[in-house]
Amino acid sequence: MHALIVIAHPDPQSLTHAVAGQVARGIEASRSGHTFEIADLSAEGFDPRFNAGDVAQFRGQAGPPADVLAEHARLDRTDDLVLVYPVYWWSFPGLLKGWIDRVFVNGWAYRDVPGAKLEKLLGRLRVHLVAVGGADMRTYEKHGYTAAMKTGIDHGIFGYCGAPVVTSQLLLPQDGTFPDAHFETARSLGQRLFSAPGTDA
């Protein structure tokens, strides 16, 4: 089986990159023969802006732009999608949201035909969310941010496409610091990535 680890942070020395690296180490440590690749959206220069080509695709006037087709090909060979990202304003950073906007399109991620029932096309793709936040859990719970993120991301995006969210981790500081235990959590996720319920590994 194959995983795609998507990173959305401009600094290669960031906690986000370090956490993603631990997920990758966990997959390697599983010694199961499974594979992974890393999509560092910032380093690759992915353009998150919804452009004229994307509008034409949305209107059914053209196929997806070439860079979107390349992402589809990468995802089509993926069994498990791992998104590792910092929390910006209680959601995805713009780079990752733009990747979702442009890549998870009608006709590939779902099929919405007027007068017909919505068809969810990504039931084969298992999703794992690893968010790195700066506020403490009390703040997230007090203001309802955790529930809002789950509604908007887990249900609103991946549920709409039929892709099950198998893992959802929110890694937050404790006593003002980022604990080493979070790196172990990420490494453990990688080790058991393909052995969670719903796989045939």
Q: DSSP assignment, residue 82?
A: E
Look at the pTM and tell me if it is higher than 0.75. yes
Domain count, the chain: 1
Contact between 78 and 125 (Cβ < 8 Å): yes
Residue 201, pLDDT > 50, answer: no
Q: What are phi and psi of 198, to 5 degrees?
A: 100, -5
pLDDT at 168: 94
Q: Is residue 201 part of a domain?
A: no
Q: Is residue 167 part of a domain?
A: yes
Q: Averaged over 36-50, what is the pLDDT?
A: 97
Per-residue model confidence as pLDDT tens digits over 64-88:
999 999 999 999 999 999 999 999 9
In b/e form, how buried is each residue of 104-121, taking b as 16+ CB within 10 angstroms?
bbbebbbeeeeeeeeeeb
Give residue 195's pLDDT band: very low, low, confident or very high (50, 70, 90).
confident
Q: Is residue 200 part of a domain?
A: no
CA distance 201 to 198: 9
pLDDT at 196: 58
Q: Is residue 199 part of a domain?
A: no
Q: Sign of dihedral through CA atoms 174, 41, 44, 26?
A: positive
Contact between 6 and 84 (Cβ < 8 Å): yes
pLDDT at 53: 95
Q: Is residue 86 part of a domain?
A: yes
* Helix or strand holding residue 149 (H, E): helix 145-149
Q: Sign of dihedral through CA atoms 25, 127, 14, 102?
A: positive
Q: Is residue 28 part of a domain?
A: yes
pLDDT at 176: 78
Q: Is residue 106 part of a domain?
A: yes
Average pLDDT, the chain: 93
Per-residue model confidence as pLDDT tens digits over 107-151:
999 999 889 999 999 999 999 999 999 998 889 999 899 999 999
- In sequence order, the 6+-apart residues with CB closer than 8 A to the CB of 74 are 4, 37, 39
Share of the chain above pLDDT 90, in %: 84
Q: Is residue 197 part of a domain?
A: no
Per-residue model confidence as pLDDT tens digits over 86-101:
999 999 999 999 999 9
**Domain span holding position 145:** 2-192
pLDDT at 200: 41
DSSP notation for 13-73: TSHHHHHHHHHHHHHHHT-SS-EEEEEEHHHHT---S--HHHHHHHTTSS---HHHHHHHH
58: domain CATH number? 3.40.50.360
Share of the chain above pLDDT 70, in %: 97
pLDDT at 197: 57
Per-residue model confidence as pLDDT tens digits over 140-153:
999 899 999 999 99
Beta bridge partners of 81: 4, 127
Give residue 58's pLDDT band: very low, low, confident or very high (50, 70, 90).
very high
